[in-house]
Every structure is written in C-alpha cells, then in structure tokens.
Amino acid sequence: MKILTAVFKGSSPDLASCPVSGLPEFALIGRSNVGKSSLINMLTRSEGLAKVSQIPGKTQLINFFTINNSWNLIDLPGYGYAKVGKKERGKFSAFVADYLKNRSNLRGTFVLIDSRLSPQSLDLEFLHWMVGCGLPFILVFTKTDALSKGAAQKNIEAFLTGMREITEEEPTYVRSSFKDQQGRKEILGLIGQALLDNPA
C-alpha cells in the first residue's frame, strides 16, 4: 500500500471524547518506549509526525492519524510506565482498555514487543487480557537493529513459547526496525489486506 497522505487529527483523553469516525482504525499498543510512535513515523515516512522520546511515557493520549483519507492509525499510550503513581497508572490503562474493547471502528491492533528483551510478564499479561477479551492482534517485534539477528530470534522464539500458555493460536508476527524500515511493507500489507477483507 502506498501512503499518499498522513495527517494528525488530534488527541483524546478517553473513548468518550474520541472523534466519531466512519473510517476503519488500526491501533498500536505496547510498553512505554517500545517504539510505537517511531513505528508510526516509519510507516508514514514522516519524521516527527508522532512524538518520539527517549523518556518513557511520552504518549499520554489516544492520538489519531488519518492515512490516505481512508483509514486511521492510532498511537496509544504505553503500559507499564513506572513513573506515574499507582492510581494514575490504573486510570491510564482503564481508558486504553475501554478504547480497545469498545471502539466500534477498530479493525486491528498491533502489539509491539521489544525484541531486545527476554519475555516480559507485563507484555504477556497484557496479551492474556487481549485474548480473554477476544480481541485480535498482530505482534510486532521492534528494535531488531539493536542486536544480532540470532539474539533477536532467540527472544522472539522465547516470547512465542510464552504465548502458547495464553492461546492455542500461533500469532501472526512481524519484525521491525525504524533504522532500516524493516517491517514496513509487511505491516502496511496486513492493513491493506484487512481493508480489502472487510471494506468500510
């Protein structure tokens, strides 16, 4: 799929304030700092469209980007951001959970996993919740440029082994790196296919 236009449409603090949109939506979620905002910039080839930061917790709102005037890409706040208080952390995940469960035009969710790390219980717990809610997802293993191919593969396989405790279905997954545009074609292909399978 060719990206002709990518426009930031605004941010919402919760599902109730999300703009009503007839466009199909695809969301990115994952731990703080995993590379969600960077992936949006990589997919759209527009540096600076989504705000990137080395400090976890940069994205705090539900951010809307409209692509080719025909579908939305959503940058969600990361989970597991340790610096916010416990109460705040709870509230934060509640509005993301509400969005994922109840956004009627949401067609797909990409769950980003840091390929540099061994399986993290926070990620597996989040995916356990997704499976429990019956929400479909695609895994994206990010930052593959930051380690050897073999080391990334080892972490990916260990993660997939962890996933087998959660679901019998083998998840679809993609490797990504914003440094060499890895995963761009596959992710846009998956979105393109989802749009074809189930047009708006």
Q: Taking the chain, what is the end-to-end CA distance rounded to the nearest angstrom?
A: 17
Task: For the CB of residue 40, give the shortest distance to ligand GTP in the complex, in Å.
Answer: 8
DSSP H stretches of helix in the chain? 36-44, 86-102, 121-133, 149-163, 184-197
Contact 138, 103 (CB under 8 A): no
List beta partners, residue 6: 67
List beta partners, residue 108: 26
CA dist 139 and 118 (Å) reads 15
Near ligand GTP by CB under 6 A, which window of 6-14, 32-40, 82-90, 185-193?
Answer: 32-40
Binding string, residues 160-189; x marks residues near ligand GTP by CB under 6 A: -----------------xxx----------
Q: At what angle do helices 121-133 and 86-102 cross, to 10 degrees?
A: 40
Does position 36 interact with ligand GTP (CB under 6 A)? The reply is: yes
Contact 26, 73 (CB under 8 A): yes
Near Mg ion by CB under 5 A, which window of 37-45, 93-101, 111-119, 138-146?
Answer: 37-45
Does position 155 interact with ligand GTP (CB under 6 A)? The reply is: no
> Among 59, 63, 66, 177, which residue interacts with Mg ion (rule: CB under 5 A)?
59
Does position 33 interact with Mg ion (CB under 5 A)? The reply is: no
Residues 82 to 141: which contact ligand GTP by CB under 6 A? none
What are the residues binding ligand GTP (CB under 6 A)? Answer: 30, 32-38, 52-54, 56-59, 77-78, 142-143, 145-146, 177-179
What are the residues binding Mg ion (CB under 5 A)? Answer: 36-37, 58-59
